[in-house]
Amino acid sequence: MKRFEPYVFLRELATRWDVLAFIVVIGLIVFLGETSRGLFAPLSQLKATPLSLDPIHLPEYAARTTFRMLAGLVLSLVFTLTYATWAAKSERAGKLLVPLLDILQSVPILGFISVTAVFFLSLAPGRVLGAEFVAIFAIFTSQAWNMAFSFYQSLRTIPTELTEAAESFRLSPWMRFWQLEVPFGMPALIWNMMMSMSGGWFFVVASEAVVVGHTTFALPGVGSYIALAIAQKNLVAIAWAIVTMLIVILLYDQLLFRPLVAWADRFRVEQEPGARVPSSWALTMMRRSRIISAATLAFHSAVLWTSRAVKRKDEPLVEPEARPKRRSLDLLWVSLVVAAVVLGLWHIVAVLLVNTSLREALQVSGLALLTMLRVFVLITLASVVWVPIGVWVGMRPRAAQLVQPVAQFMAAFPANLLFPIAVYGIVTWKLNADIFLSPLMILGTQWYILFNVIAGASAIPAEMRYVAANFKVTGWLWWRKVALPAVLPFYVTGAITASGGSWNAAIVAELATWGDTQVQARGLGAYIAEATTAGDFHRIVLGIGTMSLFVVIINRLFWRPLYYYAERKYRLT
């Protein structure tokens, strides 16, 4: 009789990819079922069952936070594929949508929560589901703008030869989107999805523990667990929260992002012979599983079926009828823009100008200048540090795989977890809070620069590197002629997002609390945080409006001209 060997049995079981796929699918269904329990329970139940710092509850809290993060990521992906595509393809729409995206990424998460909390709670009155809507939307606002900017940049820099190839094959706009534009933008988009997921972790405390005036609730999750640990000065609980975050991030890396990176490697513009191809056991399982292959085939069939309804480019167009239609669309678009501007100006006059004194406006502008100075200094320092490292990592796929999970964890590390160190150090040694709280602003946003530079360096064509090596271009000349021009469009995309994210992070960084001890730096972030806690709607709108105005002006005068310069001069053609 053959002896039973557990190792051999497990190895044979692992080769049965359908079994593994079935386990993963069932596990996902169970996970969704468990995390969705109690959505229609009364909202008062949250207060009746207070959170506990007992580590035994952390698996449940982590599952709920993971579900919210995943829901926010899915919504962000849908937003990216629609909004960024519209902005990139329509010159008329892009003139409005791109500045609007600048404004949206500059609005703090606390600002979104304070304005939208009542609306989302009213969608499910008195139910936990409304609070879940608030948390998921807040996480969405910390993820979507970065992904949209990345995909927009990819669509604007598609090489000319690929566009000509799509035209020669007479692809319809729908097929061109799925066969050219999405695959081309996918490598950079995946890296920014990782960064967006980390950005969601960075603001998870504000998303799950909501305090806006009289509206207060704490959803079960890692973020609310951290908020409670900070309020009770429980360092052991904070340590457990860090361990839990690390485990969840590693699971996300192995089950989602590592497979996506390995899968998207096929879409790189240049494939270097003999280069090490990224691998993933989860991707291997998906490719060899008949269950997942059937689902993939169904998706491709749906794309092909929907493409039949789209007119091909070689079909004749009737010019005389098209012109009046286009003029009507132009007139409708201009009318909508004018109506939106008039409505916005009316609200600004009604809410701000009438109730804001000149002294208060100057005071808020002065606070904004202080925050702006911090952002400029921090972005400059982060660029000097991470651009060389990002180029080195991006040109070495093996190093990129090792750096990826570490960078994700560091980017996801909430600034709130460093409050004990910051508050203790500033109070004990009587340090200047305006200086020593500033690094908390760049803690989570500096990684936007690193991730985008890695994506740009990995896209450097192999022949460009071979030519530089053959001509013995080294040292500073190599950086000036090869590396920096190649990554500049990607760097600017990351720097724009990092700059806007740093303004956003100022809400958390300029007002640090540890138990009953509070340390405050002068700046616009602390002003908005105090107004949000007090529920002062006028000051909230004034602070958010000032922050958005500063970010848009900086983007218009500096970042956008630099981006268009990089796009025009260093586009791969």
511-532, pLDDT tens digit by residue?
888 777 888 899 998 998 888 8
Pairing state between β 511-514 and 215-218: unpaired
Give the integer Cα–Cα distance in Å for 389 and 401: 14
Delimit the domains of the chain by residue range: 10-39+277-308, 40-268+330-569
Position 297 scores a pLDDT of 76
Position 481 scores a pLDDT of 86
Helical H segments across 80-181, by residue range: 85-89, 91-106, 109-123, 128-141, 144-156, 160-168, 173-176
Q: Kindly report the CA angle at 535 between 530 and 538, in degrees rounded to 5?
A: 90
Cβ atoms of 415 and 202 closer than 8 Å: yes
User: Could you tell me the two tokens for 174?
Assistant: 């729908």
Position 277 scores a pLDDT of 67
Position 553 scores a pLDDT of 87
Position 14 scores a pLDDT of 47
Give the integer Cα–Cα distance in Å for 314 and 167: 10
Q: What is the torsional sign of CA 502, 504, 506, 508?
A: negative
- Residue 214 DSSP SS3: coil
Position 507 scores a pLDDT of 83
Give the integer Cα–Cα distance in Å for 175 and 190: 21
The values of phi and psi at residue 211, to 5°, are: -135, 100
CATH fold group of domain 40-268+330-569: MetI-like fold (1.10.3720)
Identify the segments of the chain with pLDDT beneath 50.
1-2, 4, 7, 9-10, 13-14, 274, 311, 313-319, 573
Give the integer Cα–Cα distance in Å for 492 and 494: 5
Position 344 scores a pLDDT of 63
Pairing state between β 215-218 and 209-212: antiparallel
The reported pTM is 0.77
Residue 128: C-alpha distances to residues 121, 162, 334, 463 (Å)? 9, 49, 41, 56
Give the integer Cα–Cα distance in Å for 422 and 242: 17
